[in-house]
Amino acid sequence: MALFKKWFKKRKDQNELQIQSPLKGKAVPLTEVPDPVFSEKMMGDGAAVIPEEGRLVSPIDGEVVQLFPTNHAVGIRSGEGVEVLLHIGLETVGMEGEGFSAHVKVGDRVKAGQSLIDFSLEKVEEKAKSTITPVVITNMDRVEKIEPVYTGESQASGETMLRVSLKE
């Protein structure tokens, strides 16, 4: 009997993905992002972080599948096939890469907590519409449900932010 319990527990874990906060800061619902592309979930569902420092880390283990030339956004695909977009600030593409320094490239394998992009929080505050950073699952067809587990208080990068149940 213990063997069956162990097998079923492992099976359940394989159908769940923990997404960690990619930044130190306050996690908020995606609906609070002052941009309808994100707040109306046109690109997918997730959450956002109001950053307190300029270091973006990977929220999951996976592969870098997209890195914008301006280094303001990165996409990572988990081993389960879930694609997560991290978009530093709003209207930061107009900064043309100023203040952003990527530590990864497309095709790199990354671990949760690994540094992806360093950025100047001060420059983003000065030149962008907002520092709020959406964390969006862009292929929602793989997702059964998303459960927020953040507190709304400041948290460290690496703390679990979302629990994602995957479709079988």
Q: What is the CATH number of the domain that holds 45?
A: 2.70.70.10
Structural domain includes residue 95 = yes
- Residue 10 has what pLDDT? 39
* Cβ atoms < 10 Å from Cβ of 163: 14
- What token pair was written down for 35? 């941009």
Domain span at residue 53? Answer: 17-166
pLDDT in tens, 80-102: 999 999 999 999 999 999 999 99
Lowest-confidence range among 13-27, 53-67, 109-123?
Answer: 13-27
Structural domain includes residue 59 = yes
Structural domain includes residue 34 = yes
What's the CA gap between 135 and 31, in Å, rounded?
A: 12
Structural domain includes residue 102 = yes
pTM for this predicted structure? 0.90
Structural domain includes residue 43 = yes
Structural domain includes residue 1 = no
Residues noted as catalytic: 87
80: region left, alpha or beta (phi > 0 left; psi from -120 to 50 alpha): alpha
Instruction: Give me the number of domains the chain comprises.
Output: 1
- Residue 1 has what pLDDT? 47
Structural domain includes residue 8 = no
Structural domain includes residue 62 = yes
